Structure 1
Amino acid sequence: MNIGFQEALLFPLRGGFLQPWFLLLGLTALIPWFMGSQQPVAYSSLAVIPRDALSTLVDRLLRFSGAAAAVCLSLGMAGPYLSERWVERVGTGAHIVLLLDRSSSMSENFSGRYLGGNASESKSAVARKLLAEFVQRREHDSFAMVNFAAAPIFVLPLTQDREAVLAAIRAIGDRGNGITNIAPGLAMALDFFDGQPVSGSRIILLVSDGAARIEDTTREEIRQRFHDTQASLYWIYLRNPKSNRLADKPANPDESTTPEYFLHRYFQGMGVPYQAFEAENPEAVQRAIAEVEKQGNLPLRYLEKQPRQDISAPCYAAALALLLIALAGKAVEVRAWNG
């Protein structure tokens, strides 16, 4: 659910009880007020005993402690909680969507040799490792993730939960499949910014070792959505020595044989902040991510959804403190007169 900043600031604290019928036990709070707090002590003539203000105060304190303890115990047993809510936070950073290529070629190493399940040298494994380090360094950023091959896969919405982002990166796996189809992945990545207030930098970080032709109508739609969302695009192009460089115009004008060059030209012509990095080895990938890390440090206001919070513990703690007062009074109770 999307929620605006004004809604979040006015959103009241709400709560409830998991087992509200336990609140009926709170009626036992009436017992101390109708029953004596101490056992009576026989005396020959009450008339000769002066009124003692301190004793009256202690008696009322003990009655109140017993009644309040009963109320607190009933509240704790009823399972009170605060409902989930939105909290506004302020930091410096960006909203970053990680758009990761999961085509079969990502299972190759940087020399172009297919590795299959080898986790340490494939382009996918290198990207995974370096992106995880990048996420850990960006303390105030919000991250989302989309994987794509022939079709995009929604992985994670924009969140500040570092453990969730790192778990999503680790879950990518090494074995890719299918072809590289960037357009649907870009469209899904842009969806994360729809309806969100513009705050901080908005970055789509595309990590891919290839490209595919984008239809003219789709090109215009993507261009317009980049302008509407005010998003920037960074492309880390994982190329092997056999691949063409993005800036080298191919001799063959057929876009199907050299899609990376034409996609790069299209990105350059969108009229939005765009930068491409060609990475031919893990060190180059690391340098590219470090360059992206320098970007997007604008003031960032964002909403964080807080889960439902159990507040029964304070009730039990208050009940314990009140019962200790009652027990202390019981311990010093005079059971018989001396003399």
Structure 2
Amino acid sequence: MNIEFSAPWALLLGFAALIPLLGRGQPAISYSSISILPSDPLSTLFDRVLRFSAAAAALSLSLGIAGPYLSERWVERVGTGAHIVLLLDRSSSMNEDFSGQYMGGRAQETKGAVARKLLAEFVNRREHDLFAMIDFSAAPIYVMPFTQDKQAVLAAIEATSGRGHGATNIAPGLAMALDFYSGKPFTGSRIILLVSDGAAQIEEETSDQLRQWFQETQATLYWIYLRNPRSGRLSEKPANPNESTTPEYLLHEYFQSLGVPYRAFEAENPEALQHAIAEVERLENLPLHYLEKLPRQDVSSYCYGAALVFLALLLGAKFLEVRSWPA
């Protein structure tokens, strides 16, 4: 626990705590011969308690004014769930609906809009997962690292509601997603959830590098393929497969050769997309160890509370004070 101060200069006010210890706060009462009064241990104790209370009140107030706080820190949490990277296609074709008709980036019927809505519902249902997010089209865009802050994840998903643009280039997005797991301890499931309506050729050197990274990280890959009626099916081998006419089928074959758990879902409509996300949700949850960053915590209220207690004690003693002896 590391305590810091936002206004450390105010700690100098703490020297005021020495005043009640060095001087007498009660006014003197004239008496003809105080030497004949018997010793009174209870009064002596009461006097010391009041002096201590006054000193403690001054010290507490100076600490409160100095603004003490617990600095931000990392704490280890243990739960069940998965580390999930949302890899969302933001190419121009995501502005189409599931029939292949262009709808515009803001239309609620586009493949991108439906995917965002269902992904947001998916995030809300997952209690203990950590989510990261990447958008991609011609190049990947780093959106956010792993976090359990659902509001931040939902805001990141909503932020992709603009019009998509560019071509579909999956390889750089996959490389960035795998880098999220680099050097991290293996706890819980590692999932890359790829949501895309197309594919592109992956060069041989890049494909070998991706295969190596998948095997090193042991990340599970789920591809939700948003297929329109003009696209081929992943499960049906075309008569003449090639990179220009059937890139999705060849990408599916490549994913099957990665040596890690992989499953593809073909979603031809919003209902099929919802079913695909529900299938992903039924993953087995493994014990999940993760570090959570706690923001700094202001503790000045405790100082002011302590000062209030000591000042109330002094105020009570003030009301009981005898101002003059009866004649």
Q: Share of identical aligned residues, percent?
A: 69
* 1:205 matched residue in structure 2: 193
User: Residue 69 of structure 1 corresponds to which residue in structure 2?
Assistant: 57
* 1:324 aligned residue: 312
Cα gap change, 1:118 to 1:173, in 2 (>3 Å): closer
- Please, which of 282, 285, 288 is the counterpart of residue 273 of structure 2? 285
Asked if 1:228 is matched to 2:216, the reply is yes
2:169 aligned with 1:181: yes
Mapped partners of 2:108, 2:190: distance in 1: 31
Please say if 1:89 is aligned against 2:77. Answer: yes
| Residue 257 of structure 2 corresponds to residue 256 of structure 1 | no
Asked whether 1:245 is paired with 2:233, we answer yes
Q: Which amino acid aligns with 1:131?
A: L
The match for 2:103 among 115, 122, 127 is 115
Q: Which moved more, 1:143-152 or 1:167-176?
A: 167-176
Shift of 1:296: 4.3
Instruction: Return closer, same or farther for 1:296/1:144 CA change in 2, 3 Å cut-off.
Output: farther
Displacement after TM superposition at 1:117 (Å)? 3.2
2:45 to 57, 76, 79: 57
Secondary structure, aligned partner of 1:131: helix
Match of 1:32 among 6, 15, 20: 20
Is contact 2:198-2:225 (8 Å) kept? Answer: yes
Moved more, 168-177 or 99-108: 168-177
Question: Greater shift after overlay, 112-121 or 25-34?
Answer: 112-121
* Residues 89, 301 of structure 1: 8 Å contact kept: yes
Question: Residues 186-226 of structure 1: CA distance to partner in whole angstroms, max 9, x if unpaired?
Answer: 00001111111110000000000000010011011111101
**Equivalent residue letter for 1:260:** E
Superimposed CA distance per residue, residues 231-257 of structure 1 (whole angstroms, 9 cap, x where no aligned partner) = 100011111111111111112222121
After TM superposition, give the deviation of residue 37 of structure 1 in Å: 2.7
Q: Give the alignment's Cα RMSD to 1 decimal.
A: 1.1
Runs of 4+ in 1 over 6 A off after TM superposition: none
Q: Whole-Å Cα distance in 2 between the matches of residues 159 and 286 of structure 1?
A: 24
Summarize deviations over 1:266-311 as a string: whole Å, max 9, x none.
0011110001111111111111111101114101111001122222
Deviation, structure 1 residue 49: 2.1
Match of 1:313, SS state, is helix
Query: What residue identity is the alignment partner of 2:246?
Result: T
Structure 2 unaligned segments of length 5 or more: list them: none
Structure 1 Cα separation of the partners of residues 137 and 75 of structure 2: 36
Matched, 1:47 2:67: no
Structure 2 Cα separation of the partners of residues 56 and 132 of structure 1: 69
Partner of 1:5: none
Do structure 1's residue 192 and structure 2's residue 180 form an aligned pair? Answer: yes
Q: Which residue of 2 aligns with 1:135?
A: 123
Aligned to 1:149: 137
Q: How far did residue 118 of structure 1 move? A: 3.7
Code of the aligned partner of 1:102: R
Paired positions, count: 327
Deviation at 1:35, TM superposition (A): 1.7
Would you say the 8 A contact 1:145–1:157 is kept in 2?
yes
Farther off after superposition, 118-127 or 266-275: 118-127
Q: 1:297 aligns with which of 285, 291, 294?
A: 285
Q: Give 1:128 shift.
A: 0.6
Distance (Å, rounded) in 2 between the aligned partners of 1:48 and 1:119: 97
The gaps in structure 1 that reach 5 residues or longer are 1-12
Q: C-alpha separation between the residues in 2 aligned to 1:223 and 1:126? A: 31
User: How far, CA to CA, are the matches of 2:215 and 2:250 in structure 1?
Assistant: 20
Q: Distance in 2 between matches of 1:284 and 1:176?
A: 22
Residue 261 of structure 1, CA deviation: 0.2
1:105 corresponds to 2:93: yes
Listed one character per residue, the Cα deviations across residues 31-73 of structure 1 (whole Å, up to 9, x for unaligned) are 0012213212111121232222222222111111111111111
